[in-house]
Chains A and B, each alone.
Chain A
Amino acid sequence: MTTATLAHPATHGAHEHSEPTGWKKYLWSLDHKIIGIQYLFTSLLFLFVGGGLALLLRWQLAYPSTQVMPNGDIGNPASLAFINPQFYNSLFTMHATVMVFLVVMPLLIGAFGNYLIPLKIGAGDMAFPLINELSYWVYVLSGGVLMCSFLVAGGAAAGGWTSYAPLSSVAAYNGTQMGQSLWCVGIFLNGLASIMGAFNYITTIVNMRAPGMSFFRMPLAVWSLFITAFLLLLAVPVLSAAAAMLFLDLNSGTNFFNPAHGGQPLLWQHLFWFFGHPEVYIMILPAMGMVSDILSIFSRKPIFGYKAMVFAMIAIGFLGFIVWGHHMFVSGMNLVLSAAFGVSTMVIAVPSAIKTFNWLGTLWGGSIRFTTAMLNALSFVLMFVVGGLSGIFMASTPVDIFVHHTYFIVAHIHYVLFGGSIFGIFAAIYTWYPKMFGRMMDETLGKVHFAFTFIFFNLCFFPMHNVGLGGMMRRIADPTAYEHLRSLQPINQFITLAAIGLGFSQIIFLWNFFRSLKYGAPAGNNPWQATTLEWMVASPPGHGNFAVTPTVYRGPYDYSVPGHKRDYIMQNEPDAPDAPLGAPRSTVSVG
């Protein structure tokens, strides 16, 4: 059963490349750990860019008559006014684009995928180190292109991150031909980076697991990244193709999406959401996997229902590809189709429910340590429950037409993507920072950061449900233009103040992050007394990770095994002679 093969001779060769030193290490290293850290730093930088855009647009919503910032068209001095409606449209378009493509995906998949996969499966590096580094630099390039689009005539893309055609595809309608074209180029490049990463992860996980590391001995974090890589490989090329078509429509006179010349606007929506819905799971699955591991570590308990968790993630992966139509209920689609998409959308809620119950099961009977990492992981669970439950409103077609494109949806996606993914990312950073940099982050600062983030997050995003039900549309530059929204304006101002608080709370995180690089307490190999393979090597691990390829003897969650002197047994530890570790040990069941 444990038929994992050792690294190919070919990939061994890859470790023999000479490792650059000094600052060059952070530019040209082919080491998966350095690439992971490159992704981490770059995407954290973009997190603050995206957050800044969010604060600007929140400011505009709260105080539409006072203005804070010149508009985006820096090339045209005459237009150096303030946040005008077009710039506002650019702001929310680019906020979402940055957060999705330059922050959440690269943090979860680029940073933690790269850093953790080889270490957790006992491999020396990724299968294709050069492609790995190339993927990072193409990602940087895509970020650069998207940032530059603020500087071109007309400003950055302003058609929403969904870029619905024909608004996006006809220059006369959107007024941002250059910005929108650069958006297409940026998304295309970003997709290329994702695809390179994805097949690298799949190859690595399939071929380079250490001896004894069978699929069902892989930690859930690795499983989640494995499944995510398949989703990327199947979904991202569709978006790349759509972006290329959009670019041609804008610049080369094709009319894929323009009905005035026989094109079909709904084609864009189908292509976009065929990518877009799996994308939602791409941005949450890795967080689910890492949080599962973190909950297990700090509850000192095996994950509850390991295989159920794996199958639930696989189910989410499959179902994620047949629910895209629920984004299009309002476009007037065929009734049979909308019925099918309505049912599949409800069904995909089931595996998410299973995961939530198993997380609770993991806590049950545990010995819970409230570290900063654990607090973030717990709030991931709770916020994901809120975001998941509010999603049920949209899955119900009749209710969807009422809440569609209101702030209810904005609240929902932020509960899933910030409350879920970003809290998951914070949990992962607090957990694996000691491994990455060899030093501990400060726990007190970490808890203060967590408390502020948690409180301000909820103050900021929960009231959005209310304004949404009050009929506030998303993507409008000035809510006070509408009579029925004027009474909601105090709530909008409250949300903005909370958003500013949320933004400033992150300074605590930055301070802790950078200060600990130098002054943090030394971490040692295994500060959390965890079981998986990355904790058996030095922090940070040397080039090549393992001096000798480890052999794996057990599953990833042997915590609190009765009769054992320690409350954890590492995956590479053979049955210790001092404890009765026979077969029944790992199959103890409750009930």
Chain B
Amino acid sequence: MFGHTVDFLFYVILILTGVTFIGVFSVLVYFLVKYRSRPGVAALHSHGNNTLEVVWTTIPVFIFLGLAIYGNEQWTQMRLKTPPADALPVAVIGEQFGWNVRYPGPDGKLAKMEASKVNKDNPFGIDSSDPAGLDDFTTYGELVFPVNRPIRLYLGSKDVIHAFYVPEFRLYQDMVPGRIYDFVWLKAEATGKFQLACNQLCGQGHYKMFGKLTVSTVPEYEAWAKSKAPSPAVTAVVPPSPVAMNQK
């Protein structure tokens, strides 16, 4: 969704830099031809011009500050805007060399994750008795996002730094171990199949640390979620706790 902002800003900068480059290049070529060494023509003796210095200092200052302020505005929007309340929470924890993925069950809630509890056997850093987590289901390297529904990502890592990267979404986030990133959210606008790639060198198997990412229609997503859900026997033994009900 923010992909459009990124692309717009990209094109603004592309035009600015393109024009600058063509300008500098033309002037350079013009000078090289016009002022090539010719017998009998002496070079001008000039040490500079202070007015010009001021002009070509001031103009870039304004352009660059403008760009910085505008870019920062967009960045703040992307980062500060709280994810909508109905966003689907999805946890993705990287490890050498794959992706642990966790989806909420029918309660729509993920178990609470704590970075300090992440370890080899507990990739998501959850408390196994957390009632919100009992109906969660997990996959390995497989993500399905329902189209047009906000997705809130909870990103982390078990070992080294990985990065969650989907170029088509203009989405990149480092996953530094020792913390859970909860501010990334997105909304996919069209269905399709994509590849999730790790884009932070993470070791020998880095180059093939990719995951499957499908954006599907809502019914397709629900069918997929149902097929992945833990067997009813497991969920049935969970008495609806007051906490879970409150959260609903």
Interface residues of A (CB under 8 A from B): 85-86, 88-89, 158-160, 164, 166-167, 170, 173-175, 259-260, 264-266, 299-306, 308, 330-332, 335, 338-339, 342-343, 345-347, 349-350, 353-354, 356-358, 360-361, 363-370, 378, 381-382, 385-386, 389-390, 392-393, 395-399, 401-402, 404-406, 470-471, 473, 475-478, 481-484, 557, 559-562, 567, 585-591
Contacts and interface: CB of A to CB of B under 8 A. Distances in A.
Contact of A301 (B45, B50, B171, B202): B45
B172 interface: yes
Contacts of B60: 349-350, 353-354
B203 interface: yes
Given A86-B204, A164-B200, A347-B64, 10 more contacts: A158-B204, A332-B181, A363-B31, A367-B41, A368-B36, A393-B13, A398-B2, A399-B10, A405-B199, A473-B165
A475 B205 CA distance: 11
B155 to A, nearest CB: 9
7 contacts: A170-B159, A398-B74, A399-B10, A405-B200, A484-B194, A585-B45, A590-B52
Contacts of A347: 61, 64-65, 68
B37 A396 contact: no
A401 B37 contact: no
B140 interface: no
Contacts of A259: 176-178
Given A164-B200, A173-B96, A360-B28, A302 B45 contact: yes
Contact of B195 (A86, A160, A382, A483): A483
A521 to B, nearest CB: 20
Given A392-B13, A591-B51, A332 B172 contact: no
Interface in B14-70: 16-17, 20-21, 24-25, 27-28, 31-32, 35-38, 41-53, 56-57, 60-61, 64-65, 67-69
A335 B204 CA distance: 33
Interface SS of A by simple majority: helix
B35 A364 contact: yes
Contacts of A335: 75-76, 79-80
A299 B53 contact: no
Contacts of B76: 335, 339
Contact of A392 (B17, B65, B195): B17
A481 B208 contact: yes
B233 to A, nearest CB: 35
Nearest to A330: B174
Contacts of A343: 65, 68-69, 72
A588 B35 contact: no
A399 B25 contact: no
Contacts of A470: 167
Nearest to B5: A398
Contacts of A588: 45-47
B13 A396 contact: yes
Contacts of A396: 9, 13, 67-68, 71
A299 B35 CA distance: 8
A553 B47 CA distance: 17
Contact of A89 (B31, B119, B159, B204): B204
Given A330-B172, A364-B31, A390 B47 contact: no
B101 interface: no
B176 A265 contact: yes
Nearest to A354: B57
A528 to B, nearest CB: 13
Contacts of B197: 473, 482
A559 B43 contact: yes
Given A360-B28, A363-B28, A392-B17, A404 B172 contact: yes
A89 B206 CA distance: 9
Q: Which 9 A-B pairs have the closest CB atoms?
A: A259-B178, A471-B167, A365-B44, A305-B48, A346-B68, A346-B64, A389-B17, A476-B207, A396-B71
Contacts of A561: 45
B160 interface: yes
A484 B6 contact: no
A332 B20 contact: no
Nearest to B172: A401
Contacts of B183: 332
A97 B248 CA distance: 54
B188 interface: no
B174 to A, nearest CB: 5
Contacts of A166: 159-161, 177
Contacts of A349: 60, 64
B112 interface: no
